Structure 1
Amino acid sequence: RHQLGSARGRLSGLTAAGTRAAAGDGDDVHAGRGTTTNGSVANQKGKGLLLYAERPFKDFTLELDYLPESGSAAAGVFLRLPQEPATLDAAERSAYEVKLGEDKPPAFREPVHYTRSMFLTGAINLVGADSMHHRDQMSPRRFVSRAPGEWNTLRVDAVGQRYTVYVNGEKVNDFFGRKATEGYIGLVNRTPDFSVRFRNVRVTPRTATNAPNSVGELVATHDQRPPIKVLMVTATHGFRHTYGIEGAVELMRELEKTTELRVDTTENLATLNPANLAKYDVLFFANSTLRINPKDTTQAALRAVRLRAPIPNAVTPEQQRAVIDFVRGGKGVVLAHAALDANYGWDEYREMAGGGLFEAHPWTTHLRVINEAKTNPATRHLDDKFWIREEFYILDKSPRATSRVLLSLDNTSFGSPNMGRLPAPENSDHPVSWTRTYGQGRVFATILGHFRDTWQRPEFVQHLLTGIRMAAGRQPTESAARR
């Protein structure tokens, strides 16, 4: 076990424990100078990096205690810097950082209640992303740091490309990266006026064999299975969840390599015809905010289907019939996130989805979810209650009466709304995922999937993959409600 950041020696140079100060940029040229107090270490002033330069590490467990001196103090831990960085900027762009405290988000175009989660304790990110939806970032499940002035514990397991983060003993992140798998460790201070102190910093090298290096490898099948042929539709007429769609497409490519899924992705609604659909086992609407043109083109009728004017590429009556016949005839359909903000005025689609469609999303934040189906294959890997960050949809009608609800929101975790109006008091049942039968076919639906990082969370990927198998009729399930 290697001790980092010992109070021995001068932290402005190479210490007896091998910790070296790396300067910040510009006005922060002295930012790397450290101070020690009662066996803990912190930057003397400004932003900067304390680098453990004695040796790089491959697989390891990092443990430390940290104390933000104020609510505005922010710091982080760099993992596997591929070389000793000359500047803080170079470090930021070459290795993953685990956030500590609450750093100020950069000026992304997204609102603060989107960006804030990427800069909270337990988040993993890589500076230089053009958006908080970037592939190389993942928000924590929730914020669990103690009050400023109190000590917290951090543990990071880095094995292959997998980074598992625990704060105060609670698992808050599980992330598969794609950067260097060997490198240096550094402690960074990010707020010029406030410090985060560190103590008991230690690294234990690990030896792992056959460890998964991607979420696809984590859920890989190791036996021969008949392929499940999936047509994934990502076309949109309403709001386009660009990053969520990119995440879905990337995930399906991964799962094609490691599971029995065989996925064709399309933006062309002409593929929704009987002859083409006959090739597939499952139709997957991934964040596809589709619309139909109403027969009545008055403004009232258009508003009812969430249109301002008729559109030339709406889902046609023939395509509607092909989709319904496909499912009712014995195939499967999967609806993810904005597929429930779709096809207003198409009564059979609403019925197939379980009866409810999008009404509002008051909470885009971390909420607690209740696992209502611990024995179901799609949820038995999940805790009885767990936290996740999402743009949580509130539907205009709960699907509970027609469906087997798997997950639902814990209403006691609600805070003030940050993105939309609250639901009516009588609308207090908020399922998150559910299954049902529709005719002879099977439906799996989830409101999850807004953020790109959702599509890389191991717990969500297992949930979705099993849901696809259930929709295809390849996975035994509990009894599902029938239309």
Structure 2
Amino acid sequence: MNTRFFGSLIFFTLASGLFAEPELKSIFNGKNLSGWQPPKGNDEAGWYKAEDGVLKIQSGPKRKGSILWTKKEYRNFVMEFDFRFGEGVVDSGMHLRNQDQIQIGISGSLKRDMTCSPYIPGKGYPVEASNIKKLLKPKDWNTMRIQAVGKKYTVWLQGEKVMNYVSASAAEKGPVGIQLHGNRNMSIDYRNLKLAEIKTVAAVSAPLVYEGIEGPGKGKHIVFIASDHEYRGEETCPAIARILAKRYGFKCTVLFGLDEQGHIKAGSSNVPGIEALGNADMLFLFLRFLAPEDEWMKQFTSYLDRGGPVLGLRTTTHAFNKLQGKYAYYNFNSRNKEYDWGFGRQILGETWRPQEGAGHYGRNHQYSTRMFVVPEQKDHPVVRGVEDMHTLAGAYSAVPIKGSVILGKNQVLDSMKPDGKPVENKPPSPSIWVREYQSTSGKKGRVFCSTQGASEDIISEGVRRCIINGVFWCMGMEKHIKPKMNVDFVGPYQPTPFSFGGEAQNVKPSDLADWDSPIMPKGEKHKPKKTVKRRK
């Protein structure tokens, strides 16, 4: 058996949580079919039998199809086994809790090898496993590993991941079955069949919650979702959340993109805890190019359907990418006639569309950005008390959707310093605006959007104040916005220079749980994989 699996696959993920290392246990004793439910007629036909540690499967004289099911039913699990093709045109497969199966051998409908691909009744083969021709050994033992977690199936062959698929028809619980396809003269052998049920580790993936005590926000719940690849939304969000909770009484729940070990992973589409949106009064987003599973998107959409207020920073204008099926219209580049340019344009008011004037404007790490309040909006509650907004992230250009109220614009500077000079041929572009969107419930939801907001940007008190004012305004609480509101950081704030691959390593949400926990932790353990050189 291929042993490369064991050291590499220690944790497993699901949209709503993480899973502890499973201990694989044998589900076939190699001597008989104990623990399995042989199909009627097996004793006479001999379709399934145990010989010297091998489960031997072969067609009978009538070439009747059948399935050998486990007696036990499973929810989330990982299984591993060896298989070897025998005589004839082999058409077998592993059923996962119902009629969904992972194909092993030649597809009867496609007339070609579809090993490791999912066969879904009514859909056929919705995706095809990759690199099978190179990995599959037609005349020798092969090792396959299958993970079934919720509706998601993942398959490895010879230690290499070859397929991911989310099945709408997946069963919550059921047995595992080995198929012998009918109308075939064939044989196939299986051995070393092992399986482990996957148990959740709720404490690892629990959302980060800052409980407010007193203030105008008492009784109000804000959900933050942080998962972008570059601008350190995983630092901006908890920093703003702490201020709103500690100083103004809001309950702030912060959800992060996580890796398989429960560490914060920039840009991960695995964002546990989305259920928190069910009772949220406000949604605060810092996202980029995510493709969550349908169940996650369903809950996200439900929030928007009720017209909840939304605040989006920086790359949230292009929050979603490569979503397929039901929620593809959310993608940043969607040209759905009823939802043109996706979530970004339709909810926040802009997306990522450089050819239409919404893209990079100031070169990162070379040019910084100064933002200013447009004179005609100087009395708007969102910019009350806002002064001196300087950001290190390069400017974006934007053409906000009709109906947006532009509150601030940017100016590209020729250095990374606040006193840099404006770059010629770069006229100011909208960088702060507010609007309303029409929900399916008929209610209008307030929106604040800024093309800035990187973790280093909010070092600027003016930027920080504008964002916090934006939260109050979105929630209809503008009467509480004061010019001298306290927007000081709560606890040590030591942001990581933004860049792709520049996030602090080995940080879990629980590491940020205390008011005085540093954002982010420092030291060799947390050193980013990449650092960036900047023009002074």
**Pair in the same fold by TM > 0.5:** no
For normalisation by structure 2, the TM-score amounts to: 0.37
Structure holding more strand per residue = 1
